[in-house]
Amino acid sequence: MKPEWLYTPPKPLDEKTAAAARERQAQLTKPPGALGELENVAVTLAAAQGRERPRVDSVWISIFAGDHGVVEEGISAFPQAVTAEMVKNFARGGAAISVLARTLGAHLEVIDLGTVVGLSGVPGVVHLNLGPGTANFTRADAMSTDQCALALEAGRGCVAKARAEGAELFVGGEMGIGNTTAAAALACALLGESPERLAGPGTGIDKAGVARKAEVIARALSLHGAHFGDPLEALRRLGGFEIAALTGAYLACAQSGLPALVDGFITTAAALAAERINPGTANWFFYGHGSAEPGHVRLLDALKARPLLSLGMRLGEGSGAATAVPLLRLACALHNGMATFAEAAVSEKL
């Protein structure tokens, strides 16, 4: 049975507040549109928050971790033990996202959904133990119905905590050796694309490795292809615990009215799944950066998304999104703090 909460309609953006924010932008001491995308960011945040002068002082970052059975097909440059090792690194504060969260003053939580190297009792980590990673999706469904539902609910629960703590922006990140393969497979299913177009180097495999990844994905698409008309079923059969949790988080963000800043390739695959499951969800998304992973461009195009940064990043962990948070804060500062023509006694355009 499908979780009914997935289909609760997204909260509508406040168009009255958006209009007021656009009017304020028109009165600020600058030529119209001179601040480019920063103006659109401020207006959209105003509409999302229901206040003409938005802010993103309180940022919540949830990192979801899980292993992938498809790794046994030889599609990764790193062993699966790295997933659990990185979970510990997140908790100790040594990972890139840990540094970024501290620098931003953001709340960071780490959710271990299920790893091959079983974890328990790691300080600062929530252990949900959905299984020792997903199944190999070239031979079986990646997740059972119950596992997928629990992963989706894990994401929803993180957003509920973020809302309760007064978060103004949600950032989702991921960790899972093999998850670029899962994300590419899911993207192929949702977009009807070929694996050759969407498969990329991930953690650093060579050209031959990318070709093998594409071949592995092609086998999975052949096995599960009859079910791709249902995006939730595509997610269950091809996704990962962390991809499902991100999907649930993005759905919950839209339903509860919390803007989400989407990271790179893997999180954008989850964002597209969320939008396909419940259309209108993507109205609540900002996109942190354009990943160096080749399939990301196609996902962004499908979502009609304009990433804020293009820095050649492909780390994951939510790092690209976190790097873009200062831009959102600056957009708010400019929108809120600039003088109007009347306040500054500056002549307006003739």
Active site (catalytic) residues: 317
CA atoms within 13 A on the CB side of 6: 26
Contact 238, 220 (CB under 8 A): yes
Spatial separation of the C-alpha atoms in residues 282 and 10, rounded to whole Å: 9
Give how far Cα 25 sits from Cα of 55, 239, 298, Å: 15, 41, 32
Residues 6+ apart with CB under 8 A from 309: 288, 289, 290, 320, 323, 324, 327
E strand or H helix that includes residue 154: helix 145-164
Q: 249 with 166: CB under 8 angstroms?
A: no
CB atoms within 10 A of CB 264: 30
The CA-CA-CA angle for residues 113, 299, 254, to 5°, reads: 60
**DSSP bridge partners of 260:** 170, 285
Burial tier of 183 (Cβ tally within 10 Å: 0-12, 13-18, 19+)? buried
CA distance 330 to 51: 17
